[in-house]
Amino acid sequence: MLKHLFKLIWNKKKQNFLLMSEMLFSFLVLFAVFTLLVYYYNNYKKPMGFEYKNLWVVSYNNTFKSKSTDSVNRYYETLRSTIKAMPEIRELSFCSNNVPFSNSMWTSLVTYNKKQTSPVNWYTSDDGYKEALNAKVLEGRWFNKADAIGKYEHVVINNELKEKIFGSETAIGKVLGNADDKQRMQIIGVIQGVKVKGDYAPSGYALYHRADTGAFRWFGKIMVKVAPNTGAAFEARLYKTLANYMKDSNVEIEHMVNKRTNINYFTLVPMIVLTIVGSFLIINVALGLFGVLWYNINRRRGEIGLRRAVGATGGSVSSQLITESMILATISLIVGTFFAVQFPILNVFDLSAGIYLMAILLAVIFIYALVFVCSLYPGRQAAAIYPAVALHEE
């Protein structure tokens, strides 16, 4: 039966060629849209890794100028205790500029056993950072004062980096090197990845350094965790305190909740636009397929009438027509999948192969469903043809 259907299709290859190319392009468009959706959804499923509610970030520039590191440190430690003394403040931490949901990035390499991993985000922060962000420690511990001295610098990494380098082994106590394997760093803890680029982006590899004595010279952010339901009145007071203390700096306070909305916007808007455009293209294609199939069946009334006259049931006629369209779809999907499979093979865009395969699978199912639905009605119509009428027309 299939062989016979192939012959029928082959005889009308010119007509079918256009139909098939249309299916092929729809498949490719769907593949692109689904890849994006699956990628975003995969990231969305993972935990945030920190609590952004009641978390504010203070930015300041023009750090305190002084020749002596001690007086710089004293200056900021005074500020720290001033703020910490406020009852609404739960925790605060000075840190490098690459705070969550900001556009600032600082990436480098790490080396372990001569193997380099990149890009790794380098964060620098002090001991209160974990508490401020409410990050989750999976193994080992976060920094404390005891980490200031030691043979190696102590660092904390995130789970993604640990999985990448150590797999299922423990990472605690292992020693990493930087890009040229000079600076040695001993891992003392592993935390859950913090999604710094919003809900729909991966957390990436991360490595946390403990602030050393000179860090205040280049820090420019303070993460502040406040009590729930702290309002603008307190914020204004905090702002005045900061601005009056740091007279030479421009100060800004931002809420992580708003920053998250903004950064998600950048992923959501393209996603919504693509989905709208994609779905209208698909509606367009569906209507076209429907029209062409319907027309083709109308032209084959004689053939169908003859089959009915010889004794074929209505069901077998309509299933023949549906199978024909399904074979057309299969041929275009084979070609389309051949193109789509190149993406995981050549590792384009650095996404995991699973995402591409899932997208291919979804797109294939979608196209089959589409073609099936579009050929259902014309098939039913064909089944309803009376042989006497159809044969009379000829």
Partner 1 sequence: MLKNYFKIAIAVLRRRKFFTFISLFGISFTLTILLVLTSFIEKIVGDSYPDRKRDRSLYISKFQSKEKDGNSSSALSYYYLSHYVGGLKTPVKLGISSGYNGTNTYVNNKKLAVNYKYTNADYWDIMEYDFIEGKALTKQQVDNADKVAVISEDMKRDYFGDVPSVVGKYIEADNVKYKVTGVVKNVPITSYMIYSDIYLPFTVSKTDFRKGKGYQGDFYGIMLANSTADLSKMCAEYDAMVQRLPKENKNVVKMYSHADSYIVSYVNTGNEDKSGVTIVLTAIGIFVLLVTLLPSLNLVNINITRIMERSSEIGVRKAFGASSKTLVYQFIVENIILTLLGGLIGVVLSFVAIQVLNGFNLIPNLILSVNFTVLAIGLLICFLFGLLSGVYPAWRMSKLNVVTALKAQ
CB 64, min distance to partner 1, A: 12
Q: Near partner 1 by CB under 8 A, which window of 23-31, 92-100, 140-148, 349-357?
A: 23-31
CB nearer to partner 1: pick between 19 and 120: 19
Site size toward partner 1, by CB under 8 A: 41
CB nearer to partner 1: pick between 292 and 358: 292
- The Cβ-side half-sphere exposure at 263, using a 13 Å CA radius, reads 21
Lay out the site mask for partner 1 across 296-315 (x = CB under 8 A, - = otherwise). Answer: ---x----------------
SS3 category, 126:
coil
Looking at residue 201, its amino acid is A
Lay out the site mask for partner 1 across 198-237 (x = CB under 8 A, - = otherwise). Answer: ---------------------------------xxx-xx-
Instruction: For residue 378, say if its preceding peptide bond is cis, omega within 30 degrees of 0.
Output: no
Query: Count of CB atoms within 10 A of residue 170's CB?
Result: 12
CB nearer to partner 1: pick between 134 and 249: 249
Question: Which of 70, 77, 212, 248 lies at the binding interface for partner 1 (CB under 8 A)?
Answer: 248
Question: Which of 105, 287, 369, 389 lies at the binding interface for partner 1 (CB under 8 A)?
Answer: 287
**How far is 283 from 136, CA to CA, in rounded Å?**
46
Residue 250 found at the interface with partner 1 (CB under 8 A): yes
CB nearer to partner 1: pick between 70 and 248: 248
Provide the strand spans (E) within the chain.
55-60, 89-95, 107-112, 115-125, 137-140, 153-158, 175-177, 184-191, 205-210, 221-226, 251-255
Give the closest residue to 186 by CA, choosing from 110, 125, 109. 110
End-to-end CA distance of the chain: 26
Residue 251 found at the interface with partner 1 (CB under 8 A): yes
Question: Which of 13, 68, 244, 346 lies at the binding interface for partner 1 (CB under 8 A)?
Answer: 244
Q: How far is CA 289 from CA 151, 227, 321, 325, 384, in A?
A: 71, 59, 13, 10, 20
Tell me whether residue 263 is exposed, middle or buried, using C-beta atoms within 10 angstroms of its C-beta: 0 to 12, 13 to 18, 19 or more: buried
Question: Which of 6, 11, 21, 275 lies at the binding interface for partner 1 (CB under 8 A)?
Answer: 21
* Tokens coding 186: 């001993």
Quote the crossing angle between the two packed helices 314-346 and 2-11, to the nearest 10°. Answer: 80
Question: Which of 69, 102, 134, 249 lies at the binding interface for partner 1 (CB under 8 A)?
Answer: 249
Residue 22 found at the interface with partner 1 (CB under 8 A): yes
- The residues binding partner 1 (CB under 8 A) are 15, 18-19, 21-22, 25-26, 29, 59, 61-62, 231-233, 235-236, 239-240, 243-244, 247-254, 269, 277, 280-281, 283-285, 287-288, 291-292, 295, 299
